[in-house]
Structure 1
């Protein structure tokens, strides 16, 4: 690129397609459509950033990750292109020299957002960057049918303040996913209605295509067939789940949800990660993460998480809506009130997300112990798969067709026939890396002997994250209780009084292994510890008892031959409960470990020293 670029290129005559990034959130939608240009030697892809979003964290790394030529904004607006594709408004898009197509970066257009420079604007923006429609919005007459009122902020992506520059549409193509958006667009900004193109939702289509792989995504998160995955989702802004509800929920989830019956994951909006900083977000979630919460990447794994989920506790963000649209039970832990008016108005009341707020059950503030778990279980057990069918239909009027429709639109704007090498296709959602729960917070364990021939032991484990009692009334049904502590605990003082000390890692780790040596070392160092446990696989562990016996516990695979994904530390705790009640010399050859509704067949074998 540049004045002298023709001297250095190796292929001439390519049509230029410029991807216009505002922030990480908008960039994810551009990455969805990037494969539509794969395999076409007639196209040169370029990428730039407007610099207009207050959320610039993560953008340089994301641009570099595309491995495409990155143009500084000043050069991008000086470079003629055949097509520019954006997934947001804002910045000086009117300066681009080429056809502009604008996609939504969420599930349609739902939120109200004041343009930077408006007196009631609640989101900071670059004051030197002219925002579309900012100058002519004040002169635009208010209409009775507009979704923008005289006092409420305009609806982002549908109002003239965002869509017009000097009274004319910014975009040659305003991409919508459903006719209901066209109806609201026509009412709010009739000047832009001729640019509308209903071309589906590529993000939703990728989710739909991934639904058959739900079990794989669950296993990637360490979720077994008898476990429930609860996903916590927060959009950005002070109205989201993170601001108030999530800090209250996290310790209650750890204290009420048994660790081997539930798995929790957090999906937070990219603007949270990059507005506050990934390090700060991880610090906020530190206690919950040490208790087993998995934090899901906002770039490439959040869709897999909602496909895998049994329940989503969310708010008015797109992720919660997508979850409902694919039939997942939803509890609203935070949601703007219908009574919000004027500058406090957050949602267009005619939008699908506002309709979700009226249709989905609200999570009540938990009262007595067990109330939170009861609400989650009720939402799952009473959920009808078609509960949100009407809302799902509003997500896209052409589900599964966005790739074909968008490629046709883009190539029409480029003035090129579509590639003849095959149908337009989107990338499948990748299978995330395996991420089992590894709890470094102390774990309070209750055990109960259910039978002696064979040995059957019920185990209930809860991570300790705060002052809440992690066992509550369940202790009344237990034969014994003990504390298991990970060697990497933040509080090494807990190791001195731990009944069971646990470590996770490969058996050939030369720093601390092998397991026989480590377990002997731990028992020698901590005289009150009864069992030392080295978890060296997803279904197995090596255990040394206080009497010196070294055994391997191994869970048998399920009926389908797949590995049991329950944390093997639970099997060690079952063995501890058995030895406490039956005597240190009564080592069984098999254990049936019961966690909730699941029965795990665990062999107890002599381990070589």
Structure 2
């Protein structure tokens, strides 16, 4: 209904997550439920100086009759003490209910593997950046950090996500936000939905980079994994608040180049301590809130049980890089392959480009050009390349390209190097780790084989095995001359 009409009515109950705005114009008993976690911030120029946003006496008695809310639901006993210091009358209506968002997060932790599968994380480490809103937020003070990190962290070892506060998203709008993040999004950055997906991404995360916003407290309550700070001080963070406790005890990230060192410097414990200061023991918040609300309505709660709703699966990155600057290091242990999305950092040993997925300009600059299997054709009369035909065509059509390759549906690869009539077959062996199997993208193996074939070493004339190093893992690649039948495969 229109706001003007809403203000002209009376209600049995009004539920809100904040006492601010024109809430006072709505007539009826008010229930305030937790908004964020910990009451960590004071907003300059808003309400009482130095009062925590959400516990500010300037807003707590702004109902139509200037009475405090009928129920102020809080998440921790200390918050009642803080409320009493600000407004003793309002504190008499406060009760520790718990945090409904935390209940959903904790109920959904067993879905972590499913969330990571939905995100396409795989064996990589998921690093999540979280930003509150306002002038001291991560996206305001460090707008270039997402792009700097995707340029700093190897694509096959890390996946990045950025959680942005809804206020900041609303202020900028979707178009402006995605334009500002274009370079990072093109490199595979995940930008989860601010309603529910952000919490699913937190559960999936391996590490967190935070400002002084309260999202980090939910992450710390669910798991004790690395968290580092980019908060540089200011007037918003309230001394002694849960986020102040956390930020004072975790590593500080000064430059994107230092991210690996900062993550290694984290020691378990501070996150758990800060979460304990923000949340009472979880488990019954939904039941407690339902009991209180039905009591205010003069009704008996339904007999059926109520449980926290599980968080939905997050969506994958909307953009996936199809061209990589590949850095190659030949060691006694094998060939180390480190890939970065093309164009965001220094060039490497070669540019590897997926034909049909990357721009033509990149394809014409490729040292290694490869294609993946196409979807099954529905054409009544089909036309398809053989591996031999396409690799010859690619080397002819792209004179700057040194190697052309096809990834087969089986996961194997066929590669032809310019100057070698022989086509080669490559197959990566899966790696077993504690009951799990780790597999790499065949395109990584193609870069290792390409580096081997263009090196001064003689080309292999029989079956050989080479080691491909990706991060801390080693994968064996079986390399041999391809048979005529393999070269004639339709791709």
2:126 is the counterpart of 1:229: yes
Q: Give the secondary-structure state (helix, strand or coil) at the position aligned to 1:168.
A: coil
Does the aligned pair in 1 maintain the 2:186–2:319 contact within 8 Å?
no
Does the aligned pair in 2 maintain the 1:235–1:241 contact within 8 Å?
yes
Equivalent residue for 1:168, pick from 37, 42, 66? 66
Equivalent in the alignment of 2:89 = 191
Structural mapping, 1:518-533, within 5 Å = 519-520=390-391, 522-532=394-404
2:255 is the counterpart of 1:373: no
Does the aligned pair in 2 maintain the 1:251–1:288 contact within 8 Å?
yes
Distance 1:432 1:536, change over 3 A: farther
Deviations 1:161-183 (A, max 9, x none): 11112783352111100011111
Equivalent in the alignment of 1:477 = none
Equivalent in the alignment of 1:117 = none
Of the structure 1 ranges 196-205 and 266-275, higher mean CA displacement relative to structure 2 is found in 266-275
Does the aligned pair in 1 maintain the 2:75–2:279 contact within 8 Å?
yes
Does the aligned pair in 1 maintain the 2:252–2:262 contact within 8 Å?
no
Does the aligned pair in 1 maintain the 2:127–2:209 contact within 8 Å?
yes
Equivalent in the alignment of 1:94 = 24
Does the aligned pair in 2 maintain the 1:444–1:482 contact within 8 Å?
yes
Deviations 1:61-102 (A, max 9, x none): xxxxxxxxxx33233334443322211222322232433211
Q: Give the secondary-structure state (helix, strand or coil) at the position aligned to 2:301.
A: coil
In structure 2, distance between residues paired with 1:253 and 1:541: 32
In structure 1, distance between residues paired with 2:473 and 2:200: 24
For these two proteins, the number of residue pairs brought into alignment is: 474
Equivalent in the alignment of 1:73 = 3
Equivalent in the alignment of 1:446 = 328
Of the structure 1 ranges 399-408 and 164-173, higher mean CA displacement relative to structure 2 is found in 164-173
2:56 is the counterpart of 1:179: no
2:160 is the counterpart of 1:294: no
Distance 1:510 1:557, change over 3 A: farther
2:263 is the counterpart of 1:392: no
In structure 1, distance between residues paired with 2:179 and 2:462: 42
2:134 is the counterpart of 1:244: no
In structure 2, distance between residues paired with 1:202 and 1:212: 18
Of the structure 1 ranges 550-559 and 72-81, higher mean CA displacement relative to structure 2 is found in 550-559
Does the aligned pair in 2 maintain the 1:235–1:268 contact within 8 Å?
yes
Does the aligned pair in 1 maintain the 2:468–2:475 contact within 8 Å?
yes
| Deviation, structure 1 residue 330 | 1.3
Equivalent in the alignment of 2:110 = 212
| Deviation, structure 1 residue 496 | 1.7
Equivalent in the alignment of 2:448 = 574
Does the aligned pair in 1 maintain the 2:132–2:164 contact within 8 Å?
yes
Of the structure 1 ranges 394-403 and 598-607, higher mean CA displacement relative to structure 2 is found in 598-607
> Which runs of no fewer than 5 residues in structure 1 stay unpaired?
1-70, 115-119, 122-133, 135-147, 338-344, 472-480
| Deviation, structure 1 residue 503 | 5.2
Equivalent in the alignment of 1:430 = 312
Distance 1:98 1:254, change over 3 A: same
Distance 1:398 1:266, change over 3 A: same
Does the aligned pair in 1 maintain the 2:192–2:314 contact within 8 Å?
no
| Deviation, structure 1 residue 403 | 1.4
Equivalent in the alignment of 1:306 = 202
Equivalent in the alignment of 1:405 = 288
Does the aligned pair in 2 maintain the 1:291–1:441 contact within 8 Å?
no
In structure 2, distance between residues paired with 1:523 and 1:251: 33
Distance 1:347 1:365, change over 3 A: same
| Deviation, structure 1 residue 189 | 1.2
Q: Give the secondary-structure state (helix, strand or coil) at the position aligned to 1:359.
A: coil
Equivalent in the alignment of 2:177 = 281
Alignment RMSD, CA only?
Answer: 3.3
Distance 1:346 1:470, change over 3 A: farther
Does the aligned pair in 1 maintain the 2:146–2:162 contact within 8 Å?
no
In structure 2, distance between residues paired with 1:321 and 1:113: 19
> Which runs of no fewer than 5 residues in structure 2 stay unpaired?
none
2:430 is the counterpart of 1:540: no
In structure 1, distance between residues paired with 2:398 and 2:199: 44
In structure 2, distance between residues paired with 1:534 and 1:507: 14
2:151 is the counterpart of 1:268: no
Equivalent in the alignment of 1:461 = 339
Distance 1:364 1:601, change over 3 A: same
| Deviation, structure 1 residue 231 | 1.3
Q: Give the secondary-structure state (helix, strand or coil) at the position aligned to 1:327.
A: coil
Deviations 1:235-272 (A, max 9, x none): 1112111123240x334423432221222221111222
Distance 1:371 1:93, change over 3 A: closer
| Deviation, structure 1 residue 375 | 2.5
Q: Give the secondary-structure state (helix, strand or coil) at the position aligned to 2:245.
A: helix
| Deviation, structure 1 residue 494 | 3.2
| Deviation, structure 1 residue 410 | 1.9
| Deviation, structure 1 residue 187 | 0.3
Does the aligned pair in 1 maintain the 2:133–2:167 contact within 8 Å?
yes
In structure 2, distance between residues paired with 1:458 and 1:76: 65
Equivalent in the alignment of 1:594 = 469
In structure 1, distance between residues paired with 2:383 and 2:111: 37
| Deviation, structure 1 residue 590 | 5.9
